[in-house]
Chain A
C-alpha cells in the first residue's frame, strides 16, 4: 500500500513537472520537484524509502527529459545513498529546517556533477548521441539552487504530513490485519 502511494505521488509530481513547471521557468531555470522529493525522503533517517523514491524519480526524469537511461537515475541513487550515509553516520546532526538550504546546496552540487559525468561517459561509450555540457554546473547550479530552495520548504512540509498520514492510517491498518 505504501509503495502504491509513493508511486502515485511520484506520478503526480512528474505530471506537474511536465505541465506546470515549464510555465514558471526563468531564463531556462526550473525547479526540479522530483529531486526535491527525493532529498526530503533522504532526510528521514528511520527508513530506506528514499532509495525507492530516488530510483523511480530518476527513471521519470530520464524518460521525460529524453536523456539516456541512467543519466538522472544513477546520480540520484548514488547521491541519495551518499547523503543518507553522511547524515546518519558521519554528521549525525538532528535535521531541522535551518539546515535545509545547506543540505540542498551540497545535494545539488553532487547531483549536477554526477549527471554531467554520467552523460559524458554514456556519450563516450556511444550509447547516447548527446551529453550535458559542463557549463550547466557553472550557469545552472547557483540559479537552480535559488529557485529550488523556494520549493524545498513546501515539499518538506508536504512529505512530513504524508508521513503522519501514512503512520496514522496506512501503517496501523496494515499492522491491524
Chain B
C-alpha cells in the first residue's frame, strides 16, 4: 500500500477531485464556460484539416461513385417528372384547402421556425451516435427539439448549453419518436438500430403499408412538429403472426457525414 504515499498517487487524487468538481458543475448546469473553452480551442485545427481534406475526399468519392452517380441521375430525372405531375395536383388541393379554411374559419396549422446550426463534432468515439452543435439556449433551442438535415429528421436535442447542444442521432438505439404513414395517417414509432439505420415499429397489423411509402413525424410529442419527413418504408422485418408490423425505414441522409443541421422550434 506504499503507492498511496507516492507523488503519482497524490497527483492522481488531485485529478479525481478536479473531475468530481467538474461533474458537480455539470449536474448544476454551470459547466458551460469550461465546455465552450474545450469545444472552441481545437476549431482552428478542425477548420484547416477540413479545408485540406474536403477536396481530396470529394475527388476520391466522385471517382469511386461515377457509375452510381450516373444511375442516380437517371433515376432522379424520372422521379422529378413524376413529382412535378403530382405537384400540379397538390397545388390545386392546397388552393381548395385554403379556400375551405377561410370559409370555415379554421386556424392555420402552426408552423415551426428553424435555427441553422453547424456540427462541431460527430462520431468522435465511433459509438455514441451523438452530434455536438454550435447553438444552444441563446438561440432558443430546448431539450427535445427535432434536428433536421435536408428536410429529414436526423435526431433530437438531449442536452442544451448556452452556446452549444448535444443531439442524439435517429440511428441511435436509444432514439425513438412517434411517426405516421403520410398516405394513410396510421401511427407508428421510429427507432434507431444500433447506429446503422432506422426501423418502423408498432404499426398495427390492420393498417396497410407498402414499400416506398413516406413516413413523417406525427406531432404527438409537442417538442417535435408534425409533418417532418423521416424516411421511406423498406423491407419487412416482422412475420404475419407478430403483434405489430415492423419495417426497415430508409432515409436518404448520410448519418455519418452531417455538417449542417436545422433545429425545429415549435
| A interface residue numbers (CB < 8 A to B) | 11-12, 14-20, 22-23, 25, 28-30, 32, 48, 51-52, 54-55, 59-61, 63-70, 72-74, 77, 81, 84-85, 89, 127, 129-133, 135-136, 140, 144
Chain B interface size band reads 35 or more
Q: Given A28-B126, A66-B128, A85-B3, does the pair A51, B15 have CB atoms closer than 8 Å?
A: yes
Query: Does B168 touch A at the CB level, under 8 Å?
Result: yes
Q: Verify A19–B50 contact, CB threshold 8 A.
A: yes
Interface string of B40-57 (1 = CB under 8 A from A): 011111111110010001
Closest Cβ–Cβ distance, residue A138 to chain B (whole Å): 11
List 4 tightest A-B contacts by C-beta distance, closest first: A15-B45, A19-B49, A66-B166, A66-B130
- B interface with A by C-beta (< 8 Å): 3, 7-9, 11-12, 15-16, 18-19, 22-23, 26-27, 31, 35, 38-39, 41-50, 53, 57, 120-128, 130-132, 158-159, 166-168, 172-174, 194-196, 256
Q: Is the CB of A63 within 8 A of B35?
A: yes
User: With A65-B124, A66-B128 given, can you name 4 additional A-B contacts, CB distance below 8 Å?
Assistant: A20-B49, A30-B123, A51-B11, A70-B19
On whether the beta carbons of B126 and A29 are closer than 8 Å, the reply is yes
Is A130 within 8 A of B132, CB to CB? no
Complex: chain B residue closest to A12, CB-CB: B45
Within the complex, the shortest CB–CB distance from B118 to chain A, in Å, comes to: 12
Contact status B126-A140, CB under 8 Å: yes
Query: What is the bound-complex CA distance between A52 and B12, given in angstroms?
Result: 9
Q: Judging by beta carbons under 8 Å apart, are B3 and A19 in contact?
A: no
Q: Which of A14, A30, A129, A136 contacts B45 (CB 8 A)?
A: A14
B49 adjacent to A16 (CB under 8 Å): yes
Contact between B26 and A68, CB atoms less than 8 A apart? yes
Whether A65 and B128, one on each chain, are in contact in the complex, defined by CB atoms closer than 8 angstroms, is: yes
- Among B9, B15, B127, the one with the most A-chain Cβ atoms within 10 Å of its Cβ is B127
- Which residue of chain B is the closest to A55 with respect to CB atoms? B15
Q: Decide: A19 and B123 in contact? CB cutoff 8 A.
A: no
Chain B residues with CB below 8 A from A61, complex form: 124-125
B18 lies within 8 A of A66 (CB)? no
